[in-house]
Amino acid sequence: MRRSAGRRPSGQATRSGARDDLAGKLVGAAAALVAERGPQGFSLREVARRARVSEAAPYWHFPSKEALLAAVAEQGFASLAAAMAEVRARVKGRPQLQQLGIAYVRFALTHPSHVRIMFGPEITDKTAYPTLHEAAEHALSLLVATISEAQRDGHVRRGDPWDLAVAAWALVHGLSALLIDGQLKDRVTKPPEAEALASRVAKLLEIGLARTRR
Amino acid sequence: MRRSAGRRPSGQATRSGARDDLAGKLVGAAAALVAERGPQGFSLREVARRARVSEAAPYWHFPSKEALLAAVAEQGFASLAAAMAEVRARVKGRPQLQQLGIAYVRFALTHPSHVRIMFGPEITDKTAYPTLHEAAEHALSLLVATISEAQRDGHVRRGDPWDLAVAAWALVHGLSALLIDGQLKDRVTKPPEAEALASRVAKLLEIGLARTRR
DNA sequence: ACCTGAACACCGTTCAAGT
DNA sequence: ACCTGAACACCGTTCAAGT
């Protein structure tokens, strides 16, 4: 009960750009370890070992293993949002939604362990980490914005944009989960097949959300 | 290297109906523990404690913690398939698909930890447990059958039924995952709201998969 | 303020030993 | 064939102690 509950979960340096920043190094090592071994093989002690500090050292910067993972998850939502923003900047008009969906699945397939941390039960209460919550919220807001604009341009049916966004999110998130969890291994074994499936499903999304009478 | 890799992962009795069946008792205790504490709080030692045997005892019946969890997951897919079959028997015609979707989400919301075990990373290689794989395959086959019949009856567009089934599965699975993982807690806080959202999303599914020009 | 070393209470799994 | 008791190598977390 002597430490101050690990501020700076995003892991900036204490002073400007100091490179003795252990918090940042821990987040980096944690992200790498998650990518390597997945949520199962992850351990705080191994992170400490990789950062060349004692097993108790991380506790000064993060109140728990969960808090460190929350920082990793936040990082993940930031990269996801960046990937989404890139698509929104690059492709305009009717195909935007489909491309956004494909980008989502692609992100999940290239960072499966990251995605598991972002959404899985490792972080029990997401609202306990406000910056994580905001990062997730921001990614969703990009999708809602895309839907709203598509409605304005007449590419998507009328209706509550949040509802439609959740449906779109659920579709690509569900496909990602099924692929990551190996539930479709019988029929889709290689990455290109997964990409093709993602493309077809995202096409169905575009059709499904399209204005009736197309 | 002295035991025979735990046969009977479904946990039947050795002789007909013998009630000293430890394997079955372990699966029961494991399922209860999963429901109580989730995948995180689950431990093989606690299961052994609840079954009133030593911590080494489970290893005669199951080669690993993962194998015991695979039995729990198999049970989960069996109940899911049963719930789906019930819907298929009860409701016919065009609303069948929507009702199936709602039933899926309802199952996930009432058995969140079970669903996590069924789909999560706890079981690394699903193909290593053939009966688990079959149980999952069977649940999917019910969905494919529903789609095929709906196509025959003119309620669903043309196209590879497996593709359409995967899209439908992804949609309801994704919505379930987002709800379970608390990703929608900002907007949907109570079970009735979740049900209503599931209903609207499943309706979108029906519309999206409908024949064009409806 | 920040970190170490040692400790506590847990794990999954193995292995000799019992019946 | 089936189970126990003890052991090994790990965990997350805490706490006194150092600087």
- pLDDT tens across B148-200, in order? 999 999 999 999 999 999 999 999 999 999 999 999 999 999 999 999 999 99
- What is the rounded average pLDDT of the residues A138-162? 96
CA distances from A191 to A105, A185, A196, A197 (A): 11, 11, 9, 10
Q: What is the pLDDT of residue B211?
A: 73
The answer to whether the C-beta of A57 is closer than 7 A to strand C is yes
CA distance A208 to B13: 49
Residues of B in contact with A122 (CB under 8 A): 40
- pLDDT tens across A178-202, in order? 999 999 999 999 999 999 999 999 9
Q: What is the pLDDT of residue B17?
A: 38
Residue matched to tokens 């399209």: A210
Contact B101, B168 (CB under 8 A): yes
Q: Residue A17: is its pLDDT beyond 90?
A: no
Is the CB of B182 inside 8 Å of chain A's CB atoms? yes
Q: Residue A163: is its pLDDT beyond 70?
A: yes
CA distance A113 to B214: 42
pTM (predicted TM-score): 0.92
Residues of A in contact with B40 (CB under 8 A): 121-122, 124
CA distance B26 to B18: 15
3-state class (DSSP) for residue A113: helix
Determine, for residues A173 and B178 on separate chains, whether the beta-carbon distance falls below 8 Å: yes
Q: What is the pLDDT of residue A211?
A: 73
Q: What is the pLDDT of residue A19?
A: 54
Please give the residue of chain A at the shortest CA–CA distance from B208.
A208
- What is the rounded average pLDDT of the residues B99-108? 98
Measured in angstroms, what separates residue B54's CA from nucleotide C13's C1'?
A: 13
Determine, for residues A126 and B162 on separate chains, whether the beta-carbon distance falls below 8 Å: no
CA distance A37 to A41: 5
Residues of B in contact with A197 (CB under 8 A): 163, 166
Measured in angstroms, what separates residue B68's CA from nucleotide D6's C1'?
A: 24
Take residue B100 and report the two structure tokens written for it.
Answer: 């199936």
The answer to whether the C-beta of B92 is closer than 7 A to strand C is no
Q: Residue B1: is its pLDDT beyond 80?
A: no
Closest CA to A155 of A94, A90, A96: A94
Please give the residue of chain A at the shortest CA–CA distance from B120.
A181
User: pLDDT higher for A208 or A71?
Assistant: A71
Residue B138, burial from CB neighbour count under 10 angstroms (0-12, 13-18, 19+): middle
